[in-house]
Amino acid sequence: MLCISQLVELNNYIEEVESLGYTVYGISPSDPMSHSAVMDGEGLDFDLLTDVDVQFGSQLGFIDFDDEVIYRGYTAVNPETNQMVTEIDYLVGENALDVLKVLEDL
């Protein structure tokens, strides 16, 4: 789950992420029209997916129903080994170099 400023910052590193073999998607409970407006308005080079039923977010620990909280962060799956990591990181875009290191090590 990401905010717009973090999506824009992460977009600056899209080539580096893709060069490691990963595909980037942003996912949130927002509706597809909102996502389309953000992608077009901000010039994002990756797709935003809708999780209106919050199944994906809750399954990966980004949503806490008891505390009624949605956390920001990322999940990465190595396309060659299927190893997976999930991190809660409110500044995932600003911490893109740290994310790249995680992806390299995964």
Q: Supply the angle between the helices 4-11 and 32-42 in degrees, to the nearest 10.
A: 50
pLDDT at residue 72 above 50? Answer: yes
Q: What is the CATH number of the domain that holds 97?
A: 3.40.30.10
Range of the domain at 18: 4-105
Rg for the chain, CA atoms, rounded: 13
Classify residue 20 as left (phi > 0), alpha (psi -120 to 50) or beta.
alpha
Give residue-wise pLDDT tens across range 19-36.
999 999 999 889 999 999
pLDDT average, residue stretch 54-78? 91
Mean pLDDT of the chain: 91
The pLDDT value given to residue 1? 43
pTM equals 0.82
Residues 6+ apart with CB under 8 A from 41: none
Cα 37 to Cα 32, 48, 87, distances in angstroms:
9, 10, 27
How many domains is the chain partitioned into structurally? Answer: 1
